[in-house]
Chain A
Amino acid sequence: MHVETFLPAFIMFAVLGLVLPVILSNLSMAGRLMPEDDTATDTPAASGAASVYDQIGGAAAVDAAVDVFYRRVLADAYVNRFFQGVDMEKQAAKQKAFLTMVMGGPHNYTGKDMREGHRHLVKMGLDGTHFDHILMHLRATLAELGVPENLIQTIIGVAESTRDDVLDR
């Protein structure tokens, strides 16, 4: 749930020298989550090699990240109007699913989901700058939790790949 559960798991992997080779093998998996691949429901974790999700501590790490991420997003006056009137518990579950997806964990997000789930926000004016803010909060969250730069870049690359679906274009 908290950072303490997250850092030891990462440090253990880093000390074992497993980080780089696993990232390299995971980069190709990130490609499965590209928006045009609407049928991507496969889980990298189930396919053998460790995903970024596993490397940073799995569900516990995602829970910690959701708390930090959500706090940052809601404190950002440029984007928080898109969360007005939203059921906070449902939203936390969605954020968890989103973070699990971008970290390569088990999920069933599709490009179609991303597109339909944000269409009402696009009608409210959601654009590339708001998407940039969300990416920024994700980077800041991961940095705050001690995730190394190369894993941050992998995760941001997956999040970036959802831009056109989220913005319905």
Chain B
Amino acid sequence: MLDNQYHKIEDFLMDNSFVEWASGNYTEDDDYWKNFPLHNPVCEDNFKQACTIIKSFRIKPVSDLSAAEIDDLVNNVQSRISGNIAADNVRPIRFRMNNLLRFAAILIIALAVGLGYVVFDTGKNKQAYNKVNLQTCRHIINNSQTPMLVKLPDNSSVILQPGAQVNYPISFAANKREVNLTGEAFFEVSKNPARPFYVYSNELTIRVVGTSFKVMANDRDEQYKVLVSTGRVEVSAHNNKDAAINNKPAVVLTPNQQVVLYRKELKLEKAVLSKPMLLSKESTTIHFNFSGTPFSKVVTTIEEAYGVHIIYDEKVMGNCQLTASLIDQPLDERLKLICKAVEAEYKITGGQIIIQGKGCGN
């Protein structure tokens, strides 16, 4: 409110209440300002100009964070909090590289010692950068005898068979998600057309947007295989990483198709699977439609479909049955629903799925 009689333009502009009102925000002094020119006709001009100034004071906006970037940010913070980070690295999840040098997306393949390095670009074009930064990469090896479930930064899942290993960034790049794989694994990739998902295994490059598929890429094998359960997968072969990404014709796979990569010849051969993949639409309609199905059978179905191992107490849970239609959900949704139905809980520890419950009444 202006007490003095000297109403210069800047007096208006310095007044919080006036600025709020002129900006179009509701204030308690609305009436006062609305009627101001009437009560103070001499100052009307200055008043009007002050209004104009406020209305025209628009600052050039900067680009916002996209919804995906906000998701990443929130996820990263939550991961830090719950300490839900696989393995060794206790460093915070960061977007930027500690080394502020510019770099481009280069993939360096697993060396003989089994370590892999992945370096990504930040979405802008930067110069090639050869140095590797261990702090920004997660490296998971399944050294156990049973399959291991790994959650990726975008909530996709990978089930690593014994001996398999993956490398992936602590936080995926803005425009693509990249993962390095050696061995056999099943991927369930969360859908995001704006951020295609790439899996690299030596000469093999797989590109998807949101699908589930199996990769068989053991180091010693002469042939690599990719088998598709759901969605659409593009597979290409190459000797040099950058060539793959730039315009090599890819083989497109749809559900229940597979491709074999003959590594030496760099040849890709596509085939239809004689038996549909367990997680394809046809198969799940049959096998994931449970009706009074014993709990053990439900568990076995999931284990076979995903290649995971689920631990539970048969004595306790043995009398549980499930009637549910779990046709079209990703793995964790299915687990959730199953657990809900039998009043149990699941948790994932060290890549193992453990279901614990009190059993079912009668």
Co-complex (A, B): no
